[in-house]
Structure 1
Amino acid sequence: MHVENAQSNRLRQRLHSAKQVYAATAKLAVRNILRQKFRTGMTLAAIMFGVVSLVLAGGFVADIFIQLGETIIHSQTGHLQLFKQDFLEKGSRYPERFLIEKPEEIASKIAAHPEVDAVMGRMYFAGLLNNGRRDLPIIGEGVEPNKEARLGSLLKIVEGQQLRDQDTDGVLVGQGVAHSLGLKPGDSVTLVMNAAEGAMNTLDFRVVGIFQSFSKEFDARAVRIPLAATQELMQTKGANQLVVALHRTEDTDKMLARLGAEFSGTSFDLRSWRTLSDFYDKSVQLYDAQFGVLRLIILVMVLLSVTNSVNMSVFERQGEFGTMQALGNRHRDIVRLIIVECTILGLVGALLGALLGMLLALVISTIGISMPPPPNANIGYTAFIRIVPATVIGAFFVGFIATVLASVYPAFKVSRIPVVDALRQNV
């Protein structure tokens, strides 16, 4: 019992002694930092530059992902799509073979979920659009106009107006189609296509508007007509797809899992907008790779800048460290002092950098950054800097860890200088 008490007392004494040592080291480190104002300012500037760069770059890339995703959702795909199995692989050639019978009943079932904003049917077709002078091969969508107008909030109407439910003979044409056929709102066109049974069918339409979407290729061949007109041309009451629009994009994965369970074991396939948009996934992979390289470059810059600053500071203080060793301090005490100094600098610099980065992000976002159209796109956009907690925390730790790592080599190097050589620096 007495042995255990003695060991416990010795352990407490050691812990108390260690606390005193680190408290004294931290106090001395703070004094040294405040004493060397120029070196401290240079080191803090290097750390803050790296952290601010990471916060701004990460927020910019996050905004690209969000805006690109919302553009794809609200101009083309919706959040979720339900269709017959194999429709994606074969439906573009034979859409009449992949029809959903009684789409209204299924749409009502999906719309009963509180997360769902709207469910709309679509039917796809291919045909010829004739303006009285020439034909143009087109791909068409039969849509529910009022619902699509709500979903397609990022589908820009450059001339005329949006297609509405009452426009039973109206057609909305892509900008490329309008340019190829010389169309303007009010013009009459004839749509020629094959019905589901293979018979040729035609119907006259009036151009109500010209749209511009995210994709040039889509605009060059696409037209939209009311779903009822498409069903009349195709001589069917079905639909190829049910497009689900949600109140919040964040609910996509949850609703994909829930509806996937409901339609499990049926002939239907359910996909999210990310699966349907190969362009988005490739863009995310590209920007992730670029941001990873940028993060590595900034980490190396911070390491080199801080290492240079710490090296200069440490070797200018050789005489000081020689005096400390002459007074009985050991090599590890010198190493500890330098690392503690850089740890404090890293904490302060990374914290100030994170705060400054968030402040700059807010200021820049109030103004916006005018961006040109992305590749294969028509529409430019205004970019912002998003404050992403994970990015800010990651930038903080990059700045902090880089500073601590940068101090290790100079600390060990200067601690190994013989006392006599170090003391000569005081002469």
Structure 2
Amino acid sequence: MFLLRIALKNTFRKMRRSLLTAVSIFVGVFMMVLGLSFIDGLDSSVIRGQIRSDTGHFRIMAKGYLEAEEENEIGPLVEEWEKQKASWGDSMEAQLHPRLSFPAELSNGRDGLQARGVGIEPESYLAAFELPVIRSAPVKPEQNPVWVGSGLAEPLGLEPGSTATLLARTRFGTYTAEEFVVAGIIRSSNAAVDSTTFFIPLKKAQELLDSAHSVSEVVGFVPRDALALEVQSRHASTLQAQGLFMQTWQERAAPVLSVNQVRRKSLNALVFLIMLVAATSIANTMVMSAFERIREIGTYRALGLQTERMAAMLMVEAGVIGVLGALMGALLGSAAIYSMRSGIDMSSMASSGNITVSMSTMLYVDLSPARVVSSFMTGLIVAALAALYPAIKFSRLSPMEAMKR
């Protein structure tokens, strides 16, 4: 208790210097809490966007489809998918949704935009994915209903009930065109879907593309995100025998998540540099403080204060500075995250074209107690390690040597 009281007295003897030293710890801890939580939020946004509004937990495709998809071509199809599905049985344990994707031009009769058409089974597909219809009009099946992403409908001036012309190529390369009536405007939380995609009934898409009963892919949902890899492993050999393969959401999102990993490493490097500056600052503060009180240290040693207890007192002084900086960094970082608990709407950034990957436009930054505690402890450890050398050095001074200085 005596050592703690003396350490606190010495720490606040030079209040300004101690607070300035604590600031560097504060900045490092604050950036760890806020920055890493923000990057975790980006990861979650990408994963949520991929799964809930684009590809589901997995998608089953014919070999060679991915290469064609990159070239914006129809590519090889899953032939007679209903028969293929029957061979999978109930072991898939997933909710399956067939779809037929194709490049097309959507026109209002005057202007046209290149877009991505998707043939779906509307009732089940729109309910399974997060694709809310914000405006709708009753359209009969024989009128060829189409549901258009809000970012695609706006520049074309399309509204529910208006007519749109679809120009596409069949799977054999011939051009085909047909009129559709807008049944609804979709506004999801995925900018890439909203700005480029429209949906038509699957049977109509198969007729338009002359694809019979074939589909581009079959997307599926499983009860938990992590189960996708298990399903892939279980059915890999069966699908391979059928000339098919399965891509999981982990594989689909990997390129974007790898970019976030680069951001994470960059942030860690920046925090490391800040903590290095903080450690240097604390070590410098401890040396200056010890030199200013070197006679006082000699007196304590002459009165019988052991080396270990003298070092402990100096370490406690550094610990107080570390606690001040780390605590403020953790608290303010947590407060900043808490203030964003309702999410950050990035839809305006998406509409400007700055978001081109499939990700949710609502960014949620979760407050992780484990990250707050680990960041706080990192600040304390940096302070303790920085003070270790000065504490050992000055605690070993003999009383005579200290009194001479």
TM above 0.5, yes or no, is: yes
Give the AA of the match of 1:120. Answer: H
Q: Which residue of 2 aligns with 1:106?
A: 85
Whole-Å separation in 1 of the counterparts to 2:55 and 2:387: 52
2:354 aligned counterpart, secondary structure = coil
* Residue 187 of structure 1: how far off its partner (Å): 1.7
1:186 aligned counterpart, secondary structure = coil
2:335 maps to which of 360, 364, 368: 360
* Residue 169 of structure 1: how far off its partner (Å): 1.5
Q: Which residue of 2 aligns with 1:423?
A: 403
The answer on whether the counterparts of 2:330 and 2:376 sit within 8 Å (CA) in structure 1 is no
In the TM superposition, what are the counterparts of 1:88-99 in structure 2 within 5 Å? 88-91=66-69, 94-95=73-74, 97-99=76-78
The answer on whether the counterparts of 2:30 and 2:332 sit within 8 Å (CA) in structure 1 is yes
* Residue 70 of structure 1: how far off its partner (Å): 0.8
The answer on whether the counterparts of 2:8 and 2:317 sit within 8 Å (CA) in structure 1 is no
Q: Which residue of 2 aligns with 1:6?
A: none
Give the AA of the match of 1:85. Answer: K
The answer on whether the counterparts of 1:302 and 1:399 sit within 8 Å (CA) in structure 2 is no
Give the AA of the match of 1:414. Answer: F
With the length of structure 2 as denominator, give the TM-score of the two structures: 0.78
In the TM superposition, what are the counterparts of 1:34-53 in structure 2 within 5 Å? 34-36=8-10, 38=12, 42=19, 47=25, 50-53=28-31
Which shows bigger deviation, 136-145 or 93-102? Answer: 93-102
**Is structure 2 residue 374 aligned with structure 1 residue 400?**
no
The answer on whether the counterparts of 1:121 and 1:243 sit within 8 Å (CA) in structure 2 is yes
Whole-Å separation in 1 of the counterparts to 2:119 and 2:366: 37
Which shows bigger deviation, 67-76 or 326-335? Answer: 326-335
**Is structure 2 residue 252 aligned with structure 1 residue 272?**
no
C-alpha deviations, 1:89-126, integer Å up to 9, x for none? 12555536323422475289487555x4x321111223
Larger Rg: 1
Change (3 A) 1:303 1:242: same
**Is structure 2 residue 261 aligned with structure 1 residue 288?**
no
C-alpha deviations, 1:268-327, integer Å up to 9, x for none? 221122422466235413421332233224423432443344334333331222123334
**Is structure 2 residue 61 aligned with structure 1 residue 61?**
no
In the TM superposition, what are the counterparts of 1:363-374 in structure 2 within 5 Å? 363-366=338-341, 368-369=343-344, 371=346, 373=349
Which shows bigger deviation, 288-297 or 46-55? Answer: 46-55
With the length of structure 1 as denominator, give the TM-score of the two structures: 0.75
Give the AA of the match of 2:339. Answer: I
Change (3 A) 1:367 1:77: closer
1:322 maps to which of 283, 298, 316: 298
Give the AA of the match of 2:247. Answer: R
2:349 aligned counterpart, secondary structure = coil
**Is structure 2 residue 60 aligned with structure 1 residue 85?**
no
1:72 maps to which of 27, 30, 50: 50
1:81 aligned counterpart, secondary structure = strand
* Residue 341 of structure 1: how far off its partner (Å): 5.3
Give the AA of the match of 1:29. Answer: L
* Residue 176 of structure 1: how far off its partner (Å): 5.3
C-alpha deviations, 1:49-107, integer Å up to 9, x for none? 54344223222221222123212322222221111111101255553632342247528
The answer on whether the counterparts of 1:143 and 1:226 sit within 8 Å (CA) in structure 2 is yes
Q: Which residue of 2 aligns with 1:121?
A: 98
**Is structure 2 residue 170 aligned with structure 1 residue 195?**
yes
Give the AA of the match of 1:78. Answer: G
Unpaired runs of 5+ in structure 2? Answer: none
Whole-Å separation in 2 of the counterparts to 1:33 and 1:164: 79
Change (3 A) 1:319 1:287: same
C-alpha deviations, 1:16-47, integer Å up to 9, x for none? xxxxxxxxxxx553233343362687466764
1:410 maps to which of 387, 390, 394: 390
Give the AA of the match of 1:205. Answer: F
Change (3 A) 1:31 1:264: farther
The answer on whether the counterparts of 2:139 and 2:161 sit within 8 Å (CA) in structure 1 is no
Give the AA of the match of 1:72. Answer: Q
2:388 aligned counterpart, secondary structure = helix
Change (3 A) 1:270 1:29: farther
In the TM superposition, what are the counterparts of 1:161-180 in structure 2 within 5 Å? 161=136, 169-175=144-150, 177-179=152-154
Change (3 A) 1:408 1:198: closer
Give the AA of the match of 1:285. Answer: Q
Change (3 A) 1:292 1:339: same
* Residue 337 of structure 1: how far off its partner (Å): 4.4
Q: Which residue of 1 aligns with 2:224?
A: 248
* Residue 227 of structure 1: how far off its partner (Å): 0.9
The answer on whether the counterparts of 2:7 and 2:314 sit within 8 Å (CA) in structure 1 is no
Q: CA RMSD in A?
A: 4.0
